[in-house]
A and B are shown apart, each in its own frame.
Chain A
Amino acid sequence: MTVAQRIEATRAFLAVTTLIGAAVVFVAVRGLQPNFGGVLPAAAALASVWVCRGVFVRRDVVLWLESRLPELRYSLVALHEDPKSRFRPALEARALATDVRRVVALAGLRLVGVPAAILAVTQFAVLPFLARSDAADGSRTVGHDARRGAASGRDAFSAIIKPPSYTRIAIDTIDDPTAIAALVGSEIRFIGAHTDRVTMPRRPTVLRFGAGASERLVALEPRADSSPHVVLSLPARDTVLPNASGVLTLSASARDDYGIASGWFEMIVSSGDGESFKFRDAIIARTAANGARDFQLSASIRLDTLGLRPGDIVHLRAVARDANPASDAESGNSETRTLRVYRRGESDSVEIEALPPPEVGKSELSQRMLIIMTEKLVTQSRSLARNAFVTESRSIGTEQTRLRKRVGQIIFTRLTGEEADEDAVEAMADTLSPADALLKAASDATGAGAANPLEPAEGDSPVIAVNRPLLEAFNAMWEAERRLGISEPRQALPYMRSALAAIQRARAAERVYLRGRPPKIVLDIVRIRLSGKKDGINPGERSPRASAVAALLERHARFSSALQLLANDSASAAIDSLTLLRVEALTDQPAFASALSTAVNDLRSGRDATLSLGAARRALVGLPQRGSNSRWRGQ
Chain B
Amino acid sequence: MWATAQYESGDWDSAPLVAINLTDSVARYTSLRVSASPVIVSLGSSDVLRYPFLFLTGHLPVRFTEAERANVRAFVDRGGFLFVDDHNHDIDGVFHKTATEELRRTCGAIADLPNNHELYSTLFRFPDGPPTTGHELNGWGDNLVHKNLQAILRNGRVVVLYSSKDYSSEWSYHPENKRFQAIDNTRFGVNVIVYALTR
Direct contact of A and B (CB under 8 A): yes
Residues of A within 8 A of B (CB): 238, 268, 270, 275, 277, 279, 281, 313, 315, 317, 330, 335-336, 338, 353-363, 366-369, 413-414, 417, 507, 510-511, 513, 515-516, 518-525, 528-534, 536-540, 542-543, 545-546, 548
Q: Contacts of A338 on B, CB cut-off 8 Å? A: 8-9
Identity of the chain B residue whose Cβ is nearest the Cβ of A463 in the assembled complex: B177
Q: Contacts of B28 on A, CB cut-off 8 Å? A: 528-532
Q: Contacts of B174 on A, CB cut-off 8 Å? A: 353-355, 519, 521
Contact residues of B between 65 and 82, Cβ < 8 Å to A: 65-66
Q: Contacts of A540 on B, CB cut-off 8 Å? A: 118, 121-122, 125
Identity of the chain B residue whose Cβ is nearest the Cβ of A548 in the assembled complex: B155
Contact of A511 among B60, B88, B172 (CB under 8 A): B172
Q: Contacts of B19 on A, CB cut-off 8 Å? A: 518
Q: Contacts of B118 on A, CB cut-off 8 Å? A: 540, 542-543
Contact (Cβ within 8 A) A518 B40 = yes
Evaluate whether A270 and B94 lie within 8 angstroms (CB atoms) in the complex, with A336-B9, A357-B173, A543-B156 already known: yes
Q: Contacts of A417 on B, CB cut-off 8 Å? A: 179-180
Contact (Cβ within 8 A) A539 B123 = yes
Give the complex CA separation of A519 and B184 in angstroms: 21
Q: Contacts of B123 on A, CB cut-off 8 Å? A: 537-539
Identity of the chain A residue whose Cβ is nearest the Cβ of B137 in the assembled complex: A361
Q: Contacts of A524 on B, CB cut-off 8 Å? A: 36
Q: How many residue pairs at the A-B interface have CB separations less than 8 Å?
A: 171
Give the complex CA separation of A317 and B98 in angstroms: 12
Contact (Cβ within 8 A) A519 B16 = yes
Contact of A317 among B63, B175, B181 (CB under 8 A): B63
Identity of the chain B residue whose Cβ is nearest the Cβ of A364 in the assembled complex: B137
Shortest CB-to-CB span from A13 to chain B, Å, is: 64
Contact of A360 among B8, B138, B172 (CB under 8 A): B138
Contact (Cβ within 8 A) B61 A366 = no
Main secondary structure of the interface of B (DSSP, over half): loop
Give the complex CA separation of A524 and B194 in angstroms: 21
Residues of B within 8 A of A (CB): 8-9, 11, 13-17, 19-20, 23-25, 27-31, 34, 36-38, 40, 59-61, 63, 65-66, 87-88, 93-94, 98, 105, 118, 121-125, 133-140, 155-157, 169-175, 177-181, 184-185, 187, 194, 198-199
- Minimum-distance CB pairs A-B, first 5: A361-B134, A532-B28, A518-B16, A336-B63, A540-B121
16 CB contacts below 8 A, A to B, read A238-B8, A268-B94, A275-B169, A336-B63, A357-B173, A361-B138, A363-B137, A368-B138, A417-B180, A511-B14, A511-B172, A521-B175, A529-B28, A530-B27, A537-B123, A542-B199
Contact of B134 among A358, A523, A532, A545 (CB under 8 A): A358
Contact (Cβ within 8 A) A536 B25 = no
Q: Contacts of A522 on B, CB cut-off 8 Å? A: 36-37
Give the complex CA separation of A511 and B13 in angstroms: 10
Give the complex CA separation of A268 and B27 in angstroms: 40
Contact (Cβ within 8 A) B134 A360 = yes
Contact (Cβ within 8 A) B137 A536 = no
Contact (Cβ within 8 A) A277 B8 = no
Shortest CB-to-CB span from B169 to chain A, Å, is: 7
Contact (Cβ within 8 A) A525 B27 = yes
Contact (Cβ within 8 A) B187 A536 = yes
Q: Contacts of B175 on A, CB cut-off 8 Å? A: 521, 523, 528
Evaluate whether A357 and B134 lie within 8 angstroms (CB atoms) in the complex, with A518-B38, A519-B17, A545-B156 already known: yes
Shortest CB-to-CB span from B33 to chain A, Å, is: 9
Evaluate whether A510 and B122 lie within 8 angstroms (CB atoms) in the complex, with A525-B27, A546-B156 already known: no
* Most chain A CB inside 10 Å of its own CB: which residue of B133, B172, B194: B172
Q: Contacts of B122 on A, CB cut-off 8 Å? A: 539-540
Contact (Cβ within 8 A) A507 B37 = no
Further pairs besides A354-B172, A357-B133, A536-B187: 6, Cβ < 8 Å: A363-B137, A368-B140, A511-B15, A536-B125, A537-B123, A548-B155
Q: Contacts of B15 on A, CB cut-off 8 Å? A: 511
Identity of the chain A residue whose Cβ is nearest the Cβ of B104 in the assembled complex: A330
Contact (Cβ within 8 A) A361 B133 = yes
Give the complex CA separation of A127 and B63 in angstroms: 53
Contact (Cβ within 8 A) B29 A537 = yes
Contact (Cβ within 8 A) B156 A357 = no
Contact (Cβ within 8 A) A313 B60 = yes
Q: Contacts of B11 on A, CB cut-off 8 Å? A: 515
Shortest CB-to-CB span from B61 to chain A, Å, is: 5
Give the complex CA separation of A315 and B16 in angstroms: 23
Contact (Cβ within 8 A) A523 B37 = yes
Shortest CB-to-CB span from B50 to chain A, Å, is: 19
Shortest CB-to-CB span from A526 to chain B, Å, is: 9
Give the complex CA separation of A507 and B23 in angstroms: 22
Give the complex CA separation of A528 and B26 in angstroms: 10
Identity of the chain B residue whose Cβ is nearest the Cβ of A369 in the assembled complex: B139
Q: Contacts of B20 on A, CB cut-off 8 Å? A: 518, 521, 523
Shortest CB-to-CB span from A255 to chain B, Å, is: 15
Contact (Cβ within 8 A) A367 B124 = no
Contact (Cβ within 8 A) B36 A525 = yes
Q: Contacts of A513 on B, CB cut-off 8 Å? A: 13, 16
Contact (Cβ within 8 A) B63 A356 = no
Shortest CB-to-CB span from B30 to chain A, Å, is: 8
